[in-house]
Structure 1
Amino acid sequence: MLYQITDWDDAYANGAHIPEAEAFLPRWTAAAAAFRAAHRPLPLGRGHLFLPASTPKGLLVFVHGGYWMRFDPSTWSHLAAGAIALGWACAIPAYRLAPRVRIAQMTSDIARAVAKAAFNVAGPVVLTGHSAGGHLAARMVCEGVLPDRLAARITACVPISPLSDLRPLLRTAMNQKLRLDPEEALSESPALLTPRMGIPVTTWVGAAERPEFIRQARLLADAWAGLGAATECVIAPGRHHFDVIDGLTDPASPLMRRLLDHKD
């Protein structure tokens, strides 16, 4: 069957295609507040750094989504649960949002936050992020973004439902706030850039997501595999865009095993 986009706004709309989508934000906010009450974070700029009870085994970084326009780390604190349970520190960095800044500046914000968190936590570093945050996590393992000494510590990158080619967003109404132009869409698209070699990259996407998110996840894995990187695209059965991140709360989930190299 031919696949052709005729409505770009609908192609990238998630909530309209998820049953009871309006219930997720209050649920996330409540779970995040409860987690912070039980696990007081250290400040990471405007973000959070959660530490386990003992010396951390390493650092997991989660970059939140929201189409580069919404949310802040306080909505996502509970997603540190899986890492903390396994003895890892978890950083949830903040970044400036559109329309205040452009996506290239957000990439710089996250690079600085990752460097700051890694300075405070020794050992291996693993990167993940969701949706727009998946894009930013993938940008961190593109050539020239992070310092070599920090990049050498990264043992895995798992962009979840990532936006890896930004060019289609030029045709969406959201671009009135994002202010992408063709040049930035090219320079900020991980699938069109060169990854650092030696870092395993797994794109993770729900089987029940919008076709564009599945295509974008496959695209990044395929493009980078073609350049010599070790990649895989995992399509999680039954998961949609809002619950595909739930595995981060469960230390025994396949998603956490992939991040921390405890594979099936």
Structure 2
Amino acid sequence: MGGWQDMAAEELEQQYSPSRWSPRLGPDEVIQAHLTATAAGTQRARAGVQTLLHVPYGDGDGEKLDIYLPTDPSGTFPVLVYIHGGYWQCLRGIYLCGHSAGAHLAAMVLSTDWTEYGVVPDIKGAVLVSGVYDLEPILHTYVNDALHMSREVAQRNSPQLHIALAAPAAAACKVLVAVAQHDSPEFRRQSQEYVLALRAAGWSVSMLDLAGVDHFDIVEKLSEESYILTQVILNMILRT
């Protein structure tokens, strides 16, 4: 079986267009449904907790984050950093959770040599959902029309190519790579190969292949307490 290099341009476009793979709705409809579901979930979350919204962490207009605090924030509590998808366009214990392109960014955090910055963040766990970890195939798709990545840039920013041997502190970080049954074969391949590469480098990593979901509702369902991925994340936080 050939790799992505053997695919025609049209096939690569399809493989890296997640909305074409949902059995629930058409491409345009599933994206709109995802936006509606995540907006509704955000409103429900904001209604039940204290929030600090649109907090800047850089100078750019898009460099803002929303902070959701527990009802009683006086004690110590873990921090979950969620990074949304959208192909990069649209230190108490820290846990990372990223979806799609957000999973790529979370994986890049794991690949960072923090000693260069004089810090050692206490990252206890990372949940990477339907992510892309090798950017080179994307050079040949519509996604790069806006990104204008060169091959050198794609390789430099591919977590798959920058997995360090896990030091004791890194080995203590639990990594979960989740993928949807109805993700494209390329997304599923990338998740599987990233898991193997992390495991070979000594990382504590597991993979969760979720049946009956696509690239979008795999993360939409995180608002449901009984959803298996929600439970896995909560258990990860409680056990570490």
**Counterpart for residue 204 of structure 2:** 230
Inter-partner Cα distance in structure 2 for 1:145 and 1:169: 27
Stretch deviating more after TM superposition (14-23 or 221-230):
14-23
CA shift for structure 1 position 28: 2.1
Inter-partner Cα distance in structure 2 for 1:191 and 1:66: 20
Give the partner amino acid of 1:9: E
**Counterpart for residue 212 of structure 1:** 186
**Counterpart for residue 17 of structure 1:** 21
Inter-partner Cα distance in structure 1 for 2:212 and 2:114: 34
Retained in 1: the 8 A contact 2:103–2:128?
Answer: yes
Cα deviations by residue, 1:150-194 (Å, 9 ceiling, x for unpaired): 43x111111111110000001012202111111111111011102
**Counterpart for residue 167 of structure 1:** 136
What SS is found at the alignment partner of 2:111? coil
Inter-partner Cα distance in structure 2 for 1:61 and 1:231: 19
**Counterpart for residue 39 of structure 2:** 29
CA shift for structure 1 position 47: 1.2
C-alpha RMSD of the superposition: 2.3
Instruction: Provide the TM-score with structure 2 as the length reference.
Output: 0.79
Which contiguous aligned blocks of 4+ residues in structure 1 show a shift greater than 6 angstroms?
A: none
Instruction: Write out aligned runs for 1:1-264 (5 A).
Output: 5-6=7-8, 7-18=11-22, 19-20=24-25, 21=30, 22-43=32-53, 44-45=55-56, 46-54=64-72, 55-70=75-90, 118=91, 123-145=92-114, 149-151=119-121, 153-195=122-164, 196=166, 197-198=170-171, 199-260=173-234, 261=236
Retained in 2: the 8 A contact 1:143–1:194?
Answer: no
Retained in 1: the 8 A contact 2:100–2:131?
Answer: yes
Retained in 2: the 8 A contact 1:164–1:190?
Answer: yes
Instruction: Provide the TM-score with structure 1 as the length reference.
Output: 0.72
Stretch deviating more after TM superposition (169-178 or 28-37):
28-37
What SS is found at the alignment partner of 1:163? coil
Q: Percent identity?
A: 27
Stretch deviating more after TM superposition (15-24 or 156-165):
15-24
Q: From the superposition, tell whether residues 26 and 257 of structure 1 become closer, same or farther in structure 2 (CA, over 3 Å).
A: closer
Unaligned runs of 5+ in 1: 71-117
Cα deviations by residue, 1:63-104 (Å, 9 ceiling, x for unpaired): 01001111xxxxxxxxxxxxxxxxxxxxxxxxxxxxxxxxxx
